[in-house]
Structure 1
Amino acid sequence: MVGATELQERAARAVPAEYVTRIGSWWLRHAPGCSWWIGSVLPHMPYGSTSVSSRAELDGLISAAEAYTAERGIPTLMQMTPGAVPPELDAILAARGYERQVSVSLQTATTSEVLALAPTGSLRVRLDEEPTREWFDVWHGITGGDPDPKWRLLRRIEEPSAYVSVELGDETVAVGRAVAEAGWAGVFNMATRPEARGKGAAGAVLAALAGWAAANDVPWMYLQAEHENETAMRLYGRVGFSELVPFYFRVLER
């Protein structure tokens, strides 16, 4: 069982920002045109550590992150995962004027449990191992935003991936994707058309992703969901996911 640090860094590779700079164990990221959290700083401790070596070192890392984001004209967004970040960081950021925002659940499950619990139903399912424009157009149609940087993000992914589409009648109504790395499959981009919600489409996506993971000898799965998204939280709980750790963001606006 890996820890939160490893999973968050696997997620960062599964949803790769366009620009990434590493300063020690911190990841400074910039993802223009993509979801805001993809450009968050990962202020991680080195593996096996319980903090950085000194307050001066920590202040230096914070200042480097702030300079990085200031140069790009974006807020400084710190992803605060307990166990992954220095325990003193939260109080330091609060004193510097960072606001606490957005509570997220990092969840895990065994692939076998998801396979056993996720409903399959009679919906038609398609699985591709590369992003297709059909899959993307459905996902983008549900989520919106600028399509070009989001398509480029998918093309940057290097790890084995699965892209699932679920059809109801003649229409694709739900999509999701998974990225596998070293025994874990991360679930991302779950989206269902409003008219198809409550009809098992999202569960069918998860079942197909778990089936792909099992076929590729990937025994564990993980995902991230905002606590406020009660529908998603209920779904993931029904198919075997449970919270490994909650995390949140500290934001310094400019």
Structure 2
Amino acid sequence: MELAVVERVEKIIVKAWPSEIEKRYHSWLLRINRGVSKRANSVFTVGAMPEAKNWLEEIEMFYRKHSLPPCFYISEASPQELDETLKMNGYETVNEMFLLYHKSDEIIAQVKQNEDLSFRFEQFPNESWLDAFIYLEGHADVTKEAYDLIFKRIRIPSGFLTVKLDETIVALGTVAAKDGWGYISNVVVNDSFRRRGYGSQVIRALANWAVEHQTKHVFLQVLKTNHAGMGLYHRLGFSKLSESHFRLKTKPLINERIST
């Protein structure tokens, strides 16, 4: 697909995962979010290389002032020379991902809704959703507030899905819509209810929400090491749009912190 499409959806992801601090640096965006999540604490590098000759030094200083290791998000819409430059300056590749997409209506047609499950959307996560998200994702309790603030800062149409079997939460998911594209994230199934097709049910429900919000396509990112997720999305017919990864300084200073 055209590079312009990759750039468009990458910018949607930033709007659907806003940081507490976002500072424009030339055409890039420096993002800080209390050290919670690499995406929210990294440089968004879609756009031309900075004009300043000492750009790397200035960016590293910015993150170290916040006691965070410098981290760059690299996508196919980033400057071609950036990845090699960071490698030569001691940055390690972490969290390699595929960006996958599919037509929303085709997902809905392919997956039959499970009538034993209940599906509920909220515009913002309530306490029950947030507690379940922290627990099912295995995040530390101390990160709850930071994640809550990320979700509450979203300024594009979004939906937070809870899937229940009777009164038990079996799965969660999130979707945000802009410019005809729906960004799917935070898809997680309760370990006790896996291998029952509930992951497909989550994707179907999120795709249906996307259609109701005038989006023709949905897209998501999945770690290359997430073989279960890759298998699910392959079965549903998702196609690869692009690849991305982070570049993280391999020797952070004392007191620097960041979580996945």
1:37-81 superposed Cα distances (whole Å, 9 cap, x missing partner): 3211112225xxxxx48xxx3643322221211111111111111
Q: How many residues align?
A: 245
Go from structure 1 to structure 2 and tell me whether the alpha carbon gap of 1:224 and 1:59 turns closer, same or farther (over 3 Å shift).
Answer: farther
TM-score (norm 1): 0.90
Amino acid corresponding to residue 94 of structure 1 in structure 2: K
For the aligned residues, what is the CA RMSD? 1.7
Cα distance between partner residues in 2 of 1:157 and 1:221 = 18
Structure 2 SS opposite 1:236: helix
**Percentage of identical aligned residues:** 27
Displacement of 1:163 after TM fit? 1.3
Q: What's 1:126 paired with?
A: 120
Q: Of the candidates 168, 171, 184, which is equivalent to residue 171 of structure 1?
A: 168
Q: What's 2:88 paired with?
A: 95
Cα distance between partner residues in 1 of 2:59 and 2:9 = 22
Q: Of the candidates 73, 78, 84, which is equivalent to residue 72 of structure 2?
A: 78
Cα distance between partner residues in 1 of 2:190 and 2:184 = 18
Cα distance between partner residues in 2 of 1:58 and 1:108 = 36
Amino acid corresponding to residue 125 of structure 1 in structure 2: F
1:80-100 superposed Cα distances (whole Å, 9 cap, x missing partner): 112x11111122111111112
Cα distance between partner residues in 2 of 1:139 and 1:228 = 21
Displacement of 1:33 after TM fit? 4.7
- Contact 2:102/2:219 (<8 A) preserved: yes
1:7-33 superposed Cα distances (whole Å, 9 cap, x missing partner): 112101101111110112111001115
Matches within 5 A, 1:125-204: 125-143=119-137, 144-145=139-140, 146-204=143-201
Pair 1:15 & 2:17 matched: yes
- Contact 2:107/2:236 (<8 A) preserved: yes
Structure 1 SS opposite 2:18: coil
- Contact 2:35/2:68 (<8 A) preserved: no
- Contact 1:30/1:39 (<8 A) preserved: yes
Q: What's 2:256 paired with?
A: none
Go from structure 1 to structure 2 and tell me whether the alpha carbon gap of 1:99 and 1:215 turns closer, same or farther (over 3 Å shift).
Answer: same
- Contact 2:35/2:41 (<8 A) preserved: no
Unaligned ranges ≥5, structure 1: 47-51
- Contact 1:129/1:162 (<8 A) preserved: yes
Displacement of 1:251 after TM fit? 1.0
Displacement of 1:211 after TM fit? 0.9
- Contact 2:121/2:161 (<8 A) preserved: yes
Matches within 5 A, 1:19-58: 19-46=21-48, 52=49, 57=51
Q: What's 1:61 paired with?
A: 55
Tell me whether 170-179 or 118-127 shows the greater mean CA deviation.
Answer: 118-127
Cα distance between partner residues in 2 of 1:119 and 1:201 = 11
Amino acid corresponding to residue 115 of structure 1 in structure 2: I
Amino acid corresponding to residue 64 of structure 1 in structure 2: E
